[in-house]
Amino acid sequence: MKVLFVVPPLAGHINPTVAVAAELAARGHRVAWTGPAEVLPRLLPAGAELLPSGDRADSAGYGSLHAHWRDLRGVAALRFLWEEALVPLAHAMLPGVEAAVGTYGPDVLVVDQQALAGAVIAQRRGLPWVTSATTTAEFTRPFAGFPRVGEWVAQKIAGLLADCGAPGGWDPRFSDRLVLVFSTLELVGADEPYPGRYAFVGPALSPRPSDGSDFPWQRLDPARRRVLVSLGTLNREAGGRFYAQTLRAAERLADRLQLILAAPADVVGEVPDHVLLLEHVPQLRLLPHLDAVVSHGGHNTVCEALAHGLPLVVAPIRDDQPIVAQQVAAAGAGIRVRFGRARSDELHDALAAVLDDPAHRRAARRIQASFAAAGGAAAAADRLEKLI
């Protein structure tokens, strides 16, 4: 079987495909990716087959989009996501994806929810395609209380299909053959049963290109509880106030708490000697050494923490993050706090709760067990094999 993964230039959307691809390759299948070559090579394993699509013509590249997007909230962020990111990305990727399909000859396309060009080309070519759902917000009726927002998104999708010459009446975010959801119902929750084509396989984890050999492992303090603070790749520069309040909160727990901050030093400033401040951390290798995680609610980080049975303090910023944060809180696996207006006392209480209240850890371990039972990359590969 030849599988082509169609992905946007976002680490959290690419990482699960790497794990699924490794499982498929181990079973003798051939795998390749298509997406912006500006971003993908540093996120894919060495030797990965990449067929470029969607690279921007301007010199600023996708980094300029991130710089504009990170300061937006609410509806403004949603409008920017669709008008300045997803729809233009779909148009930019269409020629490259079509060329990749013609060159590679895949049996099936695995298309990320935000790489809409993949679904359009699959439909145009009559090829089977599968949704790679790297965030679960769209499975929770996110616009139920805001019908006009939902209608606006539907109009954007309809306009994209019309502009691409594709027939209307279908949604390129959701395959009618198979939707791979990298979570479980224990975290997502369910008001009603999902169709059988929705496969909740749990997180698909695999080693990252960075092995963590330069991480100061010897500085992890065995006498303190260890907590990672990460706002993800795209939000870190906007976290100055949040980092400061978190450090103040941790001061009151300094006799038993060690923070590991994954953040830019020029945004955080000086930190106490027992706090580890690093631009990047080998997150998957680090998680087994931790007691809790403070996160912005990015789906990848949340699921990776819960896959290790770690409770969370979640401070959502925009997009799907409030929904993911609510899932964590509703499951009892952590506490949701404010990002923009978080106070040190609120963060202190949340940190103390996830570290000291065993109920949060029990809930995190219950979700961890559901992830393990779901099967991850192996379960995703099983479903893909049955498709062809």
Q: Is the pLDDT of residue 5 over 80?
A: yes
How high is the pLDDT of residue 332?
97
Q: Is the pLDDT of residue 212 over 70?
A: no
Domain 2-177 belongs to what topology? Rossmann fold (3.40.50)
**Which tokens belong to 144?**
């139920």
How high is the pLDDT of residue 88?
93
Q: Is the pLDDT of residue 58 over 80?
A: no
288-301 CB burial, b ≥16 within 10 A, e <16: eebbbbbbbbbbbb
The average confidence (pLDDT) of the chain is: 91
Q: Measured between alpha carbons, how far is 146 from 323 in angstroms, rounded to an integer?
A: 14
> What is the pLDDT averaged over residues 299-323?
94
360-376 CB burial, b ≥16 within 10 A, e <16: bbebbbbbbebbeebbb
pLDDT digits over 145-162, tens only?
A: 667 888 999 999 999 999
Rounded to 5°, angle at Cα 112 from 107 and 118: 55
Specify the domain boundaries for CATH 3.40.50.2000 within the chain.
Answer: 2-177, 217-372
Q: Measured between alpha carbons, how far is 131 from 6 in angstroms, rounded to an integer?
A: 10
How high is the pLDDT of residue 164?
93
Comparing CA positions, the residue from 232, 194, 209, 16 lying closest to residue 112 is 16
Percent of the chain surpassing pLDDT 90: 74
Does the domain at residues 217-372 carry the CATH identifier 3.40.50.2000?
yes
